[in-house]
Each structure stands twice: as structure tokens, then as C-alpha cells.
């Protein structure tokens, strides 16, 4: 990513308006400069303290601005949803605001159910509506959720998107397809149970592995028991049958998958889903990672859209 391309990025033009940290950095430069002038004047009695003070203040602000520009050029993380459209040309589906205002961390995981009137719950509903409206002409039963790297909020997004569909009176199945590190069962307060790996290994049937949740219209299929050969199970032809049966029984099937750039399972899963949603997190996801994820996917997914996580 070149210096000129960063200068042309949409978020660069209004950078100082949206970055509170940078504003405080400039103020810091200004305060340090003025305090230095006062201390110098205390010892040496500057002849025209006002003129020197003004010149110092202007110089401090310019130094602060230049330093902030340097930090911006060096910073290659996602800062605004416009960066997604500008750099990747991928469809932008919606934006989830920051979670910082929610004090109860546990409530965030299923916020659409725990606090259905909150601004975050409304954001998930808006993304759901945008998804349905944008792909009205295409089949939209199986929806996979992934990210470029871990810690981008994809699992929380998948859970709450499934809840949003269920609250709209649509029979919904949430599948934890991260068979290595899946932990959605814990978020729903469920213990160890049969799940996806048990179906793929022939230890359980689809009917026995899918369980109802405390949320109306929402069922859940956990990742299942940990297995030594996850690649073999994912590559088996049984996975396609699982998705086909899920589509026949539910109006929506939300699938939480592993991060794209760390585990290759998602590339296999995308063959049998209707759309893949890529979650990217503000100030966390590098733009190069999003671009790499797009290249990795290539034409393997029928449709791709990006959801920006503001937390």
C-alpha cells in the first residue's frame, strides 16, 4: 500500500475530525511547548514573551500535525467502512457500533436477546434487513460468517444475526463449524453435547445433534467433540448432506466458520453456502489482511459481503 494511496483514502481526509487520540496528541505538543517557554522565561527573562509564546504555539501545533500524519501513514488498519469499499471493492453490508458502552461483557455475546431494545441489538437487526434486501433475488438460506484473523468479533456477530432472524419468526439454525476452537455452546449456557463432528464421524444423526435453545425459533448445532482429524471430517462428503438437511428444515442457517487466513476449513465450507459474510474490526484488522482474504476466497463463494465491527 503506497503513500499516495493512503493520502487518497476516504478516512484520511477527515482523519483529525474522527480521531480523538490524535487531537489530544496535538494538545500535548502544545502544552509541553508552552510550559517549556514559561520555564525558560522564569530563568532567563525573555524580552518579548508574548511573541515567543505565539511562535512556539504555532510551531508545536505544526509539529503535532506532522507527527499525526506520520502515524496515519504508518497505520494500515481499518478505520472506517469506506476503507472497505475503497480498497477491496467488496460489497459493504452493515456496521456494528462499538460495544464499549455495554458494561456487562456476558450480555454482549447474546445482546440481541439479552437487551433487545439496545442500540447494538438494533444494529444487528439492521444488518439482517440489509442482507435480506440486498439479496432478495438470490437464495439466502445458508449464511456463513468468517473473518480474516481471530478476535474480529465474527462469533458474536453470527450468534446475534441468528437471534435477529429468529426474532423475525423465521426458524433458524445456528451451526458452530469451528470444530477446533468452537465455543458457542458456552455462550448459550450449554454443556458438552453431540454436534457437527459427531455427525460427520457417524456417531450421531442430525436430529439427535440439533438442540433447541431458550430463544424461540432458534436451534443450535454445536461444534461437537474434539477430534484428531478435523481436516478429514471437513473434507468428507457428509458435510454437504448436513447443510442440505439443514436447508430443508430451517428458513435460515447461520454458520460460524474459522478465520480465513489461519485455517483452510472455511474455503471448503463455502462451496455449499449461499453467501459468505466477512467481519472486519475497526482499528484491529489490517487492510492487507482483508485484501488477502478476498484473494484467498477467489471465486469459491457464490456471494461475499463485508460487515464492519466498530468495537
Q: Domain check: are 251 and 182 in the same one?
A: yes
Query: Once rounded to an integer, what is the mean pLDDT over residues 208-228?
Result: 92
Q: Domain check: are 122 and 241 in the same one?
A: yes
Res 45: pLDDT: 61
Q: Domain check: are 96 and 146 in the same one?
A: yes
Query: Once rounded to an integer, what is the mean pLDDT over residues 97-111?
Result: 77
pLDDT digits (tens, 9 = 90+) for 10-52: 554 444 444 555 566 666 666 766 666 666 565 556 556 566 6
Q: Domain check: are 38 and 122 in the same one?
A: no
Res 303: pLDDT: 86
Q: Domain check: are 130 and 217 in the same one?
A: yes
Nearest to 175 by CA among 234, 135, 111: 234
Query: Once rounded to an integer, what is the mean pLDDT over residues 240-248?
Result: 92
Res 18: pLDDT: 43
Long-range pairs for 268-272: beta carbons < 8 A, 24 or more residues apart: 268/234, 268/235, 268/239, 269/144, 269/177, 269/234, 269/239, 270/144, 270/297, 270/300, 270/301, 270/302, 271/240, 271/300, 272/142, 272/239, 272/240, 272/243, 272/244
pLDDT digits (tens, 9 = 90+) for 186-207: 888 887 678 999 999 899 999 9
pLDDT digits (tens, 9 = 90+) for 151-179: 999 999 999 999 999 999 999 999 999 98
pLDDT digits (tens, 9 = 90+) for 245-270: 999 999 999 999 999 888 877 888 88
Query: Once rounded to an integer, what is the mean pLDDT over residues 217-231?
Result: 89
CATH number at residue 87: 3.40.50.300
Q: What percent of the chain has pLDDT over 90?
A: 37
Q: Domain check: are 156 and 270 in the same one?
A: yes
Q: Tell me: pLDDT of 6 over 80.
A: no
Res 14: pLDDT: 45
Question: End of a domain among 44, 74, 104?
Answer: 74
Question: How many structural domains are present in the chain?
Answer: 2
Res 285: pLDDT: 87
Q: Domain check: are 53 and 95 in the same one?
A: no
Q: Domain check: are 66 and 133 in the same one?
A: no
Q: Domain check: are 131 and 258 in the same one?
A: yes
Res 100: pLDDT: 73
Question: End of a domain among 50, 74, 98?
Answer: 74
* Dihedral (CA of 22, 25, 31, 37) sign: negative
Summary mean pLDDT of the chain: 81
Q: Tell me: pLDDT of 136 over 90.
A: no
Q: Domain check: are 283 and 166 in the same one?
A: yes
Question: End of a domain among 30, 46, 74?
Answer: 74
Buried b (16+ CB within 10 A) or exposed e, 150-189: eebbbbbbbbbbbbbbbbeebebbbbbbbbeebebbebbe
Identify the domain containing residue 62 by its residue range. Answer: 3-74
pLDDT digits (tens, 9 = 90+) for 81-90: 788 777 778 8
Q: Domain check: are 23 and 94 in the same one?
A: no
Q: Domain check: are 207 and 251 in the same one?
A: yes
Res 25: pLDDT: 62
Amino acid at each position: 500500500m503506497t503513500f499516495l494511496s493512503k493520502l487518497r483514502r476516504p478516512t484520511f481526509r477527515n482523519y483529525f475530525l474522527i480521531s480523538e487520540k490524535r487531537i489530544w496528541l496535538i494538545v500535548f505538543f502544545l502544552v509541553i511547548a508552552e510550559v517549556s517557554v514559561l520555564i525558560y522565561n522564569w530563568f532567563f527573562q525573555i524580552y518579548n514573551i508574548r511573541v515567543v509564546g505565539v511562535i512556539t504555539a504555532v510551531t508545536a501545533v505544526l509539529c503535532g500535525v506532522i507527527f499525526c500524519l506520520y502515524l496515519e501513514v504508518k497505520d494500515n488498519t481499518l478505520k472506517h467502512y469506506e476503507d472497505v469499499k475503497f480498497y477491496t471493492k467488496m460489497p459493504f453490508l452493515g456496521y456494528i457500533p462499538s460495544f464499549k458502552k455495554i458494561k456487562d461483557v456476558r450480555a454482549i455475546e447474546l445482546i440481541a436477546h439479552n437487551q433487545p431494545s439496545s442500540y447494538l441489538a438494533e444494529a444487528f437487526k439492521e444488518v439482517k434487513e440489509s442482507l435480506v434486501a440486498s439479496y432478495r433475488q438470490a437464495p439466502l438460506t445458508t449464511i456463513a460468517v468468517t473473518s480474516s484473523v481471530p478476535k474480529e468479533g465474527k462469533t458474536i456477530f453470527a450468534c446475534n444475526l441468528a437471534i435477529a432472524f429468529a426474532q423475525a419468526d423465521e426458524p433458524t439454525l445456528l451451526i458452530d463449524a469451528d470444530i477446533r476452537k468452537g465455543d458457542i455452546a458456552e455462550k448459550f449456557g450449554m454443556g458438552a453435547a453431540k454436534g457437527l463432528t459427531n455427525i460427520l464421524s457417524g456417531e450421531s444423526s442430525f436430529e439427535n445433534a440439533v438442540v433447541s435453545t431458550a430463544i424461540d425459533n432458534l436451534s443450535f448445532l454445536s461444534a461437537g467433540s474434539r477430534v484428531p482429524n478435523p481436516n478429514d471430517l471437513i473434507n468428507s462428503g457428509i458435510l454437504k448432506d448436513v447443510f442440505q438437511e439443514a436447508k430443508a428444515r430451517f428458513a435460515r442457517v447461520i454458520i460460524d466458520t474459522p478465520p480465513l487466513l489461519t485455517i483452510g476449513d472455511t474455503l471448503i465450507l463455502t462451496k455449499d453456502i449461499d453467501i459468505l459474510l466477512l467481519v472486519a474490526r475497526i482499528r484491529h484488522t489490517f487492510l492487507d489482511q482483508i485484501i488477502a482474504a478476498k484473494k484467498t476466497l477467489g471465486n469459491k463463494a457464490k456471494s461475499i459481503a463485508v460487515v464492519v465491527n466498530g468495537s
